[in-house]
Amino acid sequence: MSELIDSEVFLGYSTYSTIVLLKMLLMGPLTGYIRVTRKAFISAEDATAHGAKDEETIKKYMRTDSYVERVRRCHQNDLENIVPFVGIGLLYALTGPDLSTALLHFRIFAGSRIFHSIAYLLPLPQPSRGLSWLVGLGVTFSMAYRVLKTGMHL
């Protein structure tokens, strides 16, 4: 086990996995911040906690906001892409890939996810967001292929 932890590939995996997991983790508080600043809540108790005093104001604050939904979709996309990267990336690191190849995979994925969020939240015109998503997905599939090739001798 200590051999794995001392592995430069594993350290690279740990670093870039932590970066994208923290990015994903920060999307929750960002969603809450955008909800509060736009006064767009999903429950009456949230509306009341943020200044709604009567039924009319509560109903006014309980609404769907397009930018809150944009942030939520960005977070959902992170969940759909970062979680598989973390699992497949760990298996990939265990296959003993070349350090430079592994770091390239990890860095490209992290960069694509950060750019994807920027493109989603600003928003930048398509196909910027779609291409960044596709790059990250390609990295994950590339690592998965290596895992299957190594494990199944493909």
CA distance 92 to 105: 10
Q: Does 35 have pLDDT greater than 80?
A: yes
pLDDT tier at 152, thresholds 50, 70, 90: confident
| pLDDT of the residue at 133 | 98
pLDDT at 5: 65
**pLDDT surpasses 90 at 42:** yes
Residue predicted with more confidence, 145 or 5 = 145
> What is the separation, in whole angstroms, between the first and last Cα of the chain?
27
What stretches of 39-127 show up as alpha helix (H) in DSSP?
44-49, 55-61, 66-94, 99-121
What is the average pLDDT across 71-87? 98
- pLDDT of residue 30 exceeding 60, the answer is yes
Whether the predicted pLDDT of 87 surpasses 60? yes
This model's pTM is above 0.95: no
